[in-house]
Amino acid sequence: MKKIKTDVCVIGAGSGGLSVASGAVQMGAKVVLIEAGEMGGDCLNYGCVPSKALLSAAKQAHVIREGGAGIAGVTPQVDYAAAMDHVQSAIATIAPHDSQERFEGLGCTVIRAHARFISPRTVQAGDTEITARRFVIATGSRAFIPPIDGLKNTPFLTNETLWAQRSAPKHLLILGGGPIGMEMAQAHRRLGSDVTVVDAGKALGRDDPEAAEVVKATLRNEGVSIIEDAPVIRVSGGAGDIQLHLKDGQTLSGTDLLVAVGRVANTDSLDAEKARIDLTSKGVKVDAALRSSNRRVYAIGDAAGGMQFTHVAGYHAGVLIRALLFGLPAKAASHHIPRATYTDPELAQIGMTESEAREAHGNALTVTRAEISGNDRAIATGRSAGGGFIKVMIVKKRPVGVTIVGPDAGELISFWALVAASGLKMGQIAGMVAPYPTLMEVNKRAAGAYFTPKLFESPRVKTVVKLVQRFLP
């Protein structure tokens, strides 16, 4: 058995693990990086990158089909296999940045094997034992497979297996109306498949209901069937002929099934108990500094049991670098973390939704909004229809939450992430100047809407203005 001693041992070469490893090794620490699967993790190989690549191909088909602004729409010639080739090309283009060769070139010792703890200070990976001053669990998550009768005996896809498909499903059944389910529903519908989404609760149920309805209405208009409040109690059938049996007695039939009902952290095979690491149903139990019950072991990203987003893992990595390399206190926060669903229109959120803010702040809350239909850039580019909007929840002149639904919402929310991280007030936001015409102006308009009743509808302001005008030379 080969034995290694190191400063930092990172378990998992996804977004968070790679960020910790590259930062630590380039600042002089000895680093061992362990990965049993694909370098780059779920996001590169099965999640963010492939899904957005397929959505891009699907949008091209949709634009050709719909036409617009004097351009007649025509039926697109969809080549599903070529669209999947685009997906693989996107992955291959990004992969070298996350590759074993790159990280070995940086100075990391990379071990391609499954890691498990054998003591509080030692991990075994293949034929190597690694003893480290600090460990970072960055093992990510995988698709949760619900215990539905018959599901295990029925062929189904997950986000890990979908990308190997070479022909478009004739009728894709999607179990789960969260971001993954809704994104893939729209992508496949635009690529020519019939699509039915089934959710036991509400589709996009974590999001602001008003904003979620804008997205759902668009997908329904495009031909996606969305069935809500419909628990599936049994799955039956075989390849090309699958049935979902609903609690209300209804049976849905399709040719293919995608299971997208959530994620589960990859912590169950770490032998965490041997390292005295406490686990919860969501992952590793960590404190605000991302430290586990074993003071030498930290967890980041999906493995830490919180928000399951690639950018959260990257943010966690930055927090840990401060603690691991410099011994400085550092805590992870979540109030400034945005999330986005990349349907068309996109739906983005930071902080509290309106209902959450009303419950937390009551009468101290002010809600202001601006409609996408009033944005000149959206009008000029034919993207003003559909009911998109921005909604800002404000307490004591500071935003506590922002909801955006509409074109490029995932880009627009980044501005509010900066606002939240910097603790800016609405007056500072209103002072921002955006180039004209841009979608970014909708952010400024929302800030302006906050001051409208205070300035234009206030008798006191009007009285002051009249007095000043009387005495001005």
Q: Indicate whether 282 pLDDT > 90.
A: yes
CA–CA separation, 163 and 219 (whole Å)? 22
Q: Indicate whether 455 pLDDT > 70.
A: no
The share of the chain scoring above pLDDT 90, in percent, equals 90
Contact 140, 47 (CB under 8 A): no
In tens, the pLDDT along 242-269 reads 999 999 999 999 999 999 999 999 999 9
Q: Which residues are annotated as a binding site for NAD(+)?
A: 176-183, 262
> What pLDDT does residue 453 have?
73
Q: What is the mean pLDDT of residues 166-189?
A: 98
The share of the chain scoring above pLDDT 70, in percent, equals 98
Q: What is the mean pLDDT of residues 231-245?
A: 97
> What pLDDT does residue 452 have?
74
> What pLDDT does residue 302 have?
96
Class of 151-263 in CATH: alpha beta
Higher pLDDT, 322 or 196: 196
Contact 330, 20 (CB under 8 A): no
Q: Give domain 2-39+99-142+264-326's CATH superfamily.
A: FAD/NAD(P)-binding domain (3.50.50.60)
Q: Which residues are annotated as a binding site?
A: 52, 139-141, 176-183, 262, 302
CA–CA separation, 320 and 392 (whole Å)? 31
- Structure-block tokens of residue 329: 């206190």
Q: What are phi and psi of 2, to 5 degrees?
A: -75, 140
Q: What is the mean pLDDT of residues 461-470?
A: 72
> What pLDDT does residue 345 have?
97
The mean-pLDDT minimum among 111-115, 230-234, 380-384, 453-457 falls in 453-457
Query: What H or E segment, with its residue span, contains residue 395?
Result: strand 389-395
CA–CA separation, 283 and 349 (whole Å)? 24
> What pLDDT does residue 445 have?
92
b/e code 393-405 from CB counts within 10 Å (16+ = b)? bbbeeebbbbbbb
**β-bridge partners, 131:** 5, 122
> What pLDDT does residue 458 have?
66
> Which pLDDT band, with edges at 50, 70 and 90, does 450 fall under?
confident
> What pLDDT does residue 328 have?
84
Q: Where are the domains of the chain?
A: 2-39+99-142+264-326, 151-263, 338-455
> Which pLDDT band, with edges at 50, 70 and 90, does 37 fall under?
very high
In tens, the pLDDT along 9-27 reads 999 999 999 999 999 999 9
Residues in contact with 33: Cβ distance below 8 Å, sequence separation at least 6, in sequence order: 10, 13, 17, 18, 21, 103, 108, 109, 110, 111
ω before 345 within 30° of 0 (cis)? yes
- Structure-block tokens of residue 322: 């401060």
CA–CA separation, 459 and 465 (whole Å)? 10
Q: What is the mean pLDDT of residues 418-432?
A: 93
Mean pLDDT, the chain, rounded, equals 95
Which is nearest to 130 in space by CA: 284, 249, 277, 11? 11
Overall size of the chain counted in residues = 473
Q: Which residues are annotated as a binding site for FAD?
A: 52, 139-141, 302
b/e code 54-81 from CB counts within 10 Å (16+ = b)? bbebbeebbeeeeeeeeeeeeebebebe
Contact 300, 292 (CB under 8 A): no
Contact 371, 429 (CB under 8 A): no
Q: Indicate whether 8 pLDDT > 70.
A: yes
Q: What is the DSSP letter of 157?
A: B
| Domain 338-455: CATH architecture, name and number where available | 2-Layer Sandwich (3.30)
> What pLDDT does residue 469 have?
77
In tens, the pLDDT along 65-76 reads 999 888 999 999
> Which pLDDT band, with edges at 50, 70 and 90, does 467 fall under?
confident
CA–CA separation, 63 and 57 (whole Å)? 10
> Which pLDDT band, with edges at 50, 70 and 90, does 187 fall under?
very high
Q: What is the DSSP letter of 195?
A: E
151-263 and 338-455 share one CATH topology? no
- Structure-block tokens of residue 226: 């969305």
CA–CA separation, 383 and 378 (whole Å)? 5
> What pLDDT does residue 457 have?
65
Helices 15-26 and 310-326 meet at what angle, rounded to 10?
30
